[in-house]
Every structure is written in structure tokens, then in C-alpha cells.
Structure 1
Amino acid sequence: MDYTRHTPYSDPGRYAALLDELPTDIPGLTAVIRSLVIHYRGGGIEFTGERLEEVNNRWVETILAVDQQRNGCPLTEPRKLEDRVAGCCRDFALLLVAALRHQGVPARTRIGFASYFVPGWNHDHVIAEYHNGERWVRVEAQIEPAEHWGFDVHDIPPGPFRSAAEVWLAFRAGEIDPDLYGVDPSLPIRGGWFIRDYVFLQAAHLNGDELLLWDGWGAMADDLEMDLTPTDELAALLVAADNGDEAAATKLHDWYTADPDLRPGQKIMVHSPTGTPPYRVDLATRQQVAD
């Protein structure tokens, strides 16, 4: 896959010109993005109604549309906290990916778990990574650089963030407690089934379907009452591809393209954190549709 090319999710569409004036350095880009987006749960503001629904802005073009309707100024101009678009980690990462692709830099989103927000807990998380000509560099676009993180947020080393596939294989080997992996320590959305679904999300994002973390399709489920061998095989391919195995990357892409249980179809189910009942979205029309 050519990661310099936009996907429907990263494409800024009619707002592409806004990306022309963005910085070209990673610290500068992440600073701009943190001024555009505020996390819907961790930003210090309680969002409700239409403001909370902004978390379902699946496409960068839509995120930029909301920002421009509210602020109507260059992206490099700082926004007030209350004027930023409500989103989540996926949106910070995807905006960085969009900006880098706009500049011709290979970039992609990565799905997994972060251990650096709460001691002893592993939050579901999305980061970005770009290729610097020699290797893929992982970037945390959501948080301010600070010494207390214990690592460079613009070049995350192995350990603080683990891909969903890595975590799944560790779970299957009995090396981790799956109940320490999920949305938040205060919520029951955690465990082996949750990690499994994130393996599917990881495969989707790797193949250019950068969906919301609460989108569902295909073989995803809220239990483990199925043959887990295909998930084991998928996770192993994802890890091998991450480690530079070209044959694994090719096999993974071919499998993803051919298997309707692995990739999202035209219509996906949305289990939004806004509290609305699950609903379907047509990804082609970008509209909510009846079941």
C-alpha cells in the first residue's frame, strides 16, 4: 500500500488548501493538531448533544468542516479550548497522518494499547507513524511532550505502546491479564474479546480503512465463543509485517482484500460512546441508514 496517498478517511477534500501552510516538522504538526482537537473524555469539558456527536466525525474532511464552521481561520491559529473539535486519540493520529500524506510523507495510524496514562492499566489507543526513509517512527500526537512520560512522544520506543496484535498473542500465551486492557479502569469494556476486536481494527487501519474505534463489522464479537485460530494467524501476520516480513505483508493484504469477515463492507455498525443506540452508516454515502 502507498501510504503517501490519502484514503477516504484521511482526505481533507475541499479543505486541502488549509494543509498547505502547516509546519513540516513533527513537533510543529502535533502542536497544531492539539489545538484543533480536544479529547471528548479527557479534555476537561463535559460534552453533550451535538458537541458530543463530534466524536463520530469519521472523515478528516468532516473534522475540518466542523473546525472551519466554528473558527473560520488558518489551522495554525490557536483555538480556545472550548472551540476545538471533540474527538479521541484516533482523530489526533489521523489528522497527523493526513498532514504528512499531504506533504508526501508515508504515514499511517496504529491501533493498540498504551501503558503510560494510568499506572497498571493499558488504554486502547491510536498513534501515528511515519517513514523517515529508514524506518517507521511512532508518534504520539495527542499529548504534550513532557519528561514525566519517560520517553520521546515524537519517537516512541518499544514498550509504552503495544499493537493490538502483540497484545493478543501475549494474551493467548498467558503472559498478560486481559482485564487490564480496555477503554478505562472504571468501565467494563475490556478483556480478551476487546483485544480480539482491536486486532481487526489494526488490520483495517493498516489497509487504509481508518475507522472509528467503536465501528463494528464482520467477525467482530463481544465474546470469545468462536474458533480463535484465524485471529491467532491474523495477529501473527500483523506482527511479522511490522517486523519487515514482506511475504507476511503480502499475505495479509491478500487475505484482507478477499475475506468479507475481515474488512468492513459498505455498511458498518456504530456503537457510539455518545449513548445513542447502535446504528448503521453507509460508508459510500456517509449517511446513517436503516438496518
Structure 2
Amino acid sequence: MDSDYLTHSPYSTPGPLMDALLGPDPLPRAPEALAALVRGVLLHREERETLAYAVPEERLREDAESRYVTEILRILAERGDTPLTEERAPAARFVATCRDFALLLCSLLRETGTPARLRGGYGTYFQAGFHDNHWVTEYWSEGRGWVLADAQVYGDLHDTPFDPLDVPRDAFLVAGDAWRACREGRADPETFGVFTVPEIKGLGLVRADVVADLA
């Protein structure tokens, strides 16, 4: 276990708002409970139709620029007084990207004593035959080592053929593995990209994600 990943970065530190949002209940420690918490307070920007909620345009802009957990918690506090441990109505949630799900879960894991870090790479479970640019959390499990977890697809909104808190390494390729697969001819670089923005794809993107994942 690397204790460095127990230490918050400026991005993951929850700040003083955490206690105010929690109310009388302490944070749970189990990764499953923390993933459920994250899933209950964040709304992915592509889930608007699924949840039948018309997200105001200003929220799409404001939330997308909130790169720190302190900002996520500030916005959640402004949108309602439901304790952090309770599922929120869509209008009271933070409008997130995959990175926000990964960052908030990472923050909560660190806060409760589990080493965790963000991993950038590509998910194969969104579009058949395509490696979609994505971020997940990687946490330390005693007896197993580092395990990939995807809080975005945790719960009933998504149907994945695996446990979202134990994502197989061939279902999510961390950026370095994606780079090696492309360079060695085991994967086509043109199948790596952002599915919703077709022009963003290819080996240049994979190379950039190697740097982002390392950072």
C-alpha cells in the first residue's frame, strides 16, 4: 500500500463544508457505500433524458468549471440541505462529468482511510467496438492491491456486465496500457476517442491521456 495516496491533493480535499453537509451521520467507510453516496448526489450531464430533468444551461457551464471537491460541495450546499448521505432529487445534484464522479469518490475514500487515486483512460463498456475517453477511481484493497471503480455506472441507471467497483482491466484501459496496445498494433488508434465528439480521437489523444493519467 502506498500511503501517499491517502494524502489529499488541492483537488481532492473536501474542506470545512463536508461536516456541514453530512449532518448527524458520519461518512461510511465501505467503498460500496461511498460509491452509492457519490451516485446519489451527482448527475452526469448525459443522463438528463434518463432522469427526465432539463438541466439549466448555466448549470452545465458552472458545474463543468468546478474542478475541486470544495467547489462540488459548495454547489451541493447551495442546491439543497439534504444530508450528503441521502440520495438527492436531480435538481439538487451537481451536474458532473466522469472526472467529477472519479474525483469525489477518490476524495471520500481518502477521507475515510482508503488509499485512492484517479486514473485516466478508456472504457469499452459505453459503445461496442469503441474505447471511450473516461476517468475512474483506483483504490487499494487489502489482499488484492489496486482495484478500478467506476462510480458513474454504479447503481440502477446503468447495466454493466461486471461489478462497477471491480472494473476488469480489459474493460477499462488505463492510458499507458492503451498507448502500448496502439503502438504494438493490438488496437486501432482510431477506436480511441470521445464518442460524443467524433473528431476527437486517435493516437494524439491517447498520448495526451498518458500525460494526464500520470499527472
The two structures have a TM-score, normalised by structure 2, of 0.88
Aligned to 1:105: 114
Aligned to 1:12: 14
- For the 8 Å contact 1:145–1:152, the answer to whether it is kept is no
Superposed CA RMSD in Å reads 1.9
- For the 8 Å contact 2:14–2:73, the answer to whether it is kept is yes
Matched residue of 2:137: which SS? strand
Q: 2-side partners of 1:162 and 1:176: how far apart? A: 11
Aligned to 2:95: 86
Deviations 1:52-87 (A, max 9, x none): 121121000000000001112310122111221111
Deviation at 1:118, TM superposition (A): 1.1
Alignment-mate amino acid for residue 208 of structure 2: D
Deviation at 1:120, TM superposition (A): 1.0
Runs of 4+ residues deviating >6 angstroms: none
Q: 1-side partners of 2:159 and 2:70: how far apart? A: 34
2:66 is aligned with 1:57 = yes
1:156 to 163, 167, 170: 167
Q: Classify 1:6/1:42 alpha carbon distance in 2 versus 1 (closer, same or farther; 3 Å).
A: same
Alignment-mate amino acid for residue 50 of structure 1: E
Mark the runs of 5 or more structure 2 residues left unpaired by the alignment.
none
Aligned to 2:33: 28
Q: Which stretch shifts more, 90-99 or 126-135?
A: 126-135
Q: Classify 1:187/1:46 alpha carbon distance in 2 versus 1 (closer, same or farther; 3 Å).
A: farther
Alignment-mate amino acid for residue 30 of structure 1: A
Aligned to 1:277: none
- For the 8 Å contact 2:118–2:136, the answer to whether it is kept is yes
- State the structure with bigger RCO (CA 8 A, min sep 6), 1 or 2: 2
Q: 2-side partners of 1:156 and 1:116: how far apart? A: 10
What does residue range 106-145 of structure 1 map to in structure 2 within 5 Å?
106-134=115-143, 135-145=145-155
- For the 8 Å contact 1:40–1:55, the answer to whether it is kept is no
The two structures have a TM-score, normalised by structure 1, of 0.66
Q: Which stretch shifts more, 138-147 or 128-137?
A: 138-147
Mark the runs of 5 or more structure 1 residues left unpaired by the alignment.
205-291
Q: 1-side partners of 2:16 and 2:76: how far apart? A: 13
Aligned to 1:193: 204
Q: 2-side partners of 1:101 and 1:111: how far apart? A: 18
Q: Percent identity, aligned pairs only? A: 37
- For the 8 Å contact 2:39–2:155, the answer to whether it is kept is no
- For the 8 Å contact 1:105–1:131, the answer to whether it is kept is yes
Q: 1-side partners of 2:36 and 2:139: how far apart? A: 17
Larger Rg: 1
Q: 2-side partners of 1:172 and 1:191: how far apart? A: 12
- For the 8 Å contact 1:121–1:185, the answer to whether it is kept is no
Alignment-mate amino acid for residue 29 of structure 1: L
Count of matched residue positions in the alignment of Structure 1 and Structure 2? 204
Aligned to 1:218: none
- For the 8 Å contact 2:82–2:88, the answer to whether it is kept is no
Q: 1-side partners of 2:139 and 2:56: how far apart? A: 34
What does residue range 67-82 of structure 1 map to in structure 2 within 5 Å?
67-82=76-91
